[in-house]
Each structure stands twice: as structure tokens, then as C-alpha cells.
């Protein structure tokens, strides 16, 4: 099964509330997943996406979205609480309105750490600002500096009551070499337990690849950097994963596999299969993915999956998500095996 589950603090704070999860005994007890770790984010990505569009698009979208996590300016469709006025940033933190009922929230470095303490994740992430890909450099400089101050405050709050939790920093700077290097040097000087690579990661796979190519060696400089885990935030398409692992990334997260599944796209070793295509209507007895031993592939054929998606049956989404998650776990198992056999 899944080794590490990434849970969304923003959504958990809005419902059921971090205090409710704490009352249940923490997220391990709440989900009855007691033997494997959880990681939670700060909620910052989702909050800033209210202004830049990613959360709004995810809530209202009926089509496929970009495979790379980046904040690009979108139209202000959907809930009236979204758009450029939905988020107000100050040195204290960020004020936003809930997409559920429009109520106002103030998220600070301290409050997001407290919420993650209540949730009880094993790895927590400090509050950071996520500027869009296209941004004036001076504003990016200001954003990186603000994120550094917020992350330092988050770390101070965390260290008051560690609770056997680890905290990873989030390295920022967009694709700017000087700012990324500055962020690496500052954040690795603080006693974080691991390093997250976040912010705008480029406008496509090639820019991400180029970014990791020159940046990852910086995290190998000195034993205090080399021995700590590195997590790539928001990336999980197969091509980018294969590249990231060869550059020294240890863990990754993304909604990519389940998002594809919701829209009827299944992952296979031979490429993507779009189950809504009419060519699958009579694919009786044809497995989704040969050699896959997930429950979806073992029990259902392509014709039945086509029917579920064409009929808008929720079961189709569930079965597709199960398959795609299983596929990604098989992919990562193969990569770990290649590492152990010195093929990577």
C-alpha cells in the first residue's frame, strides 16, 4: 500500500476541523491508518490558489489540468469568494475566505503549525507564500524573503512542542538561480529535518528538469545537508518523477494520479488510456493493464470501465483512482529497486 500519505491541512481545517481530528486521537486514529506515516502541508498552496486559480479550477473543472504544480493566473469563475480579493497578505500571515461558506480565516505561521500539531501528522510543512510563475523579479524577491521569515517563525513554534514530528522547510525562488541559491543557503542553516522543493517549479517539464539539474547538487554540499531527505512538492507525472529521482529526490506528492482517474484517464506501462473513448465500448475481457494486480484490473475489463464513465457512475472514479495509485506505487517500487541495484 501507500507508504506516505500527504494530507491537506487547508481542507482539514475547514472540515472537519483540526480540533475534531485531535479529539479522535489524531489523523492515524481518525483514518484507522495507524502503522504508516502522514505528511501535512501548511495550507499555503491552497490559500494562494484562491487568488491565482488552482483551487477554483480544481473545484469547478471538468477537464484535464496541467501535470505540473504551478500557479498561473486563471479566470475568476465559481465561488464569489475567490479571485484576486480572496487573499490578503501581511507580515502576520494571510487572510482568506472559506470556499465552503465564505467565512474569514487568518492563517499565520504559528496557527498552521498548531493545526498540524492537532492533526498529528508525522511530517509537517511551514507556512510559505506561493507567487505565480509570471511575476516581477522584485516582487519575487519580496515573496522569498517573506517566506523565509514565515518559515523561521513556523520552526520556532514547532520547536516549542516537537511531539515526535519532523518539519521540512520549503525552498523557494522560482526558476531564478540567485534566489533559489539564497533560499537553499538560508533554510539549510536552520535546524529543519528535511528539505522541500516548492514554489513555482517552471512552466513545463523541461524547466523543472533544468531547475533540479543545477539546484540539487547544492543540497549535497556538507554533511548537514547531504544526510537530510528531499521532498519535491506537487509533482507526480511519470516523466518528471523519473528525472527527479535521478537528481536525488527522495519523496514526491501530487493529486495527479487521482485527478487523471476522476477524468477517466488510466495509467499503464504502454501510456495513458482514456476510458471515455468509444473504442473501448466492446473491449470485453480486455484488461486495463496487462500484468497489473490491482483490484480494478483483476475484476473489471475496459468495456465495463467505459460504461461506468459514460454513465457518470461514481464507481468508475473510485476504480480508476485505485488503479492509478497502484500503478504509481509499482513505479516507485521499481525505481527503489533500480537504486539498490545501482542502475540509478
Residues known to be catalytic: 41, 253
Q: Which among 38, 35, 43 has a CA at the least distance from the CA of 9? A: 43
Q: C-alpha grid cell for residue 148? A: 523565509
Residues 6 or more apart in contact with residue 320 via CB below 8 angstroms: 260, 261, 262, 264, 265, 266, 275, 296, 305, 309
Output the 3-class SS for 208-226: HHHHHHHHHHHHHCCHHHH
Q: What's the CA gap between 147 and 32, in Å, rounded?
A: 34
Residues 6 or more apart in contact with residue 46 via CB below 8 angstroms: 8, 10, 11, 54, 55
SS3 231: strand
**How wide is the angle at C-alpha 155 spanned by C-alphas 94 and 123, nearest 5°?**
95
Residue whose entry in the numeric block shows the C-alpha cell 528538469: 209
Q: Which among 133, 166, 164, 130 has a CA at the least distance from the CA of 150? A: 130
Amino acid at each position: 500500500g501507500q507508504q506516505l500519505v500527504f494530507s491537506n491541512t487547508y481542507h482539514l481545517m475547514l472540515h472537519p476541523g483540526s480540533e475534531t481530528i485531535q479529539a479522535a486521537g489524531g489523523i492515524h486514529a481518525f483514518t484507522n491508518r495507524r502503522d504508516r506515516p502522514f505528511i501535512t502541508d501548511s495550507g499555503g498552496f491552497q490559500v494562494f490558489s484562491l487568488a491565482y486559480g488552482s483551487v477554483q479550477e480544481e473545484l469547478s473543472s471538468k477537464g484535464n489540468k496541467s501535470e505540473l504544480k504551478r500557479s498561473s493566473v486563471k479566470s475568476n469563475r465559481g465561488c464569489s469568494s475567490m479571485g484576486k480579493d480572496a487573499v490578503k497578505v501581511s507580515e502576520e500571515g494571510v487572510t482568506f475566505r472559506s470556499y465552503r461558506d465564505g467565512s474569514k480565516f487568518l492563517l499565520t505561521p504559528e496557527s498552521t503549525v498548531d493545526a498540524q500539531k492537532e492533526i498529528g501528522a508525522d511530517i509537517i510543512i511551514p507556512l510559505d507564500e506561493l507567487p505565480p510563475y509570471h511575476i516581477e523579479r522584485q516582487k519575487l524577491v519580496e515573496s522569498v524573503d517573506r517566506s523565509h521569515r514565515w518559515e523561521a517563525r513556523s520552526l520556532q513554534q514547532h520547536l516549542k512542542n516537537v511531539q515526535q514530528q519532523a518539519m521540512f522547510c520549503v525552498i523557494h525562488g522560482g526558476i531564478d538561480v540567485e534566489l533559489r541559491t539564497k533560499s537553499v543557503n538560508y533554510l539549510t542553516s536552520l535546524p529543519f529535518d528535511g528539505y522541500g522543493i516548492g514554489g513555482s517549479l517552471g512552466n513545463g517539464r523541461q524547466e523543472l528538469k533544468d531547475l533540479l539539474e543545477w539546484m540539487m547538487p547544492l543540497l549535497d554540499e556538507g554533511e548537514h545537508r547531504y544526510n537530510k531527505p528531499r521532498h519535491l512538492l506537487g509533482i507526480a507525472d511519470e516523466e518528471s518523477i523519473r528525472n527527479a529521482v535521478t537528481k536525488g529526490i527522495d519523496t514526491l506528492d501530487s493529486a495527479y494520479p487521482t485527478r487523471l482517474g476522476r477524468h477517466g484517464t488510466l495509467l499503464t506501462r504502454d501510456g495513458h488510456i482514456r476510458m471515455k473513448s468509444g473504442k473501448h465500448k466492446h473491449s470485453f475481457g480486455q484488461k486495463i493493464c496487462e500484468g497489473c494486480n490491482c483490484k480494478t484490473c483483476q475484476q473489471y475489463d475496459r468495456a465495463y470501465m467505459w460504461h461506468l464513465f459514460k454513465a457518470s457512475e461514481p464507481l468508475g472514479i473510485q476504480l480508476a483512482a485505485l488503479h492509478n495509485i497502484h500503478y504509481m506505487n509499482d513505479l516507485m517500487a521499481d525505481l527503489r529497486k533500480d537504486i539498490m541495484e545501482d542502475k540509478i
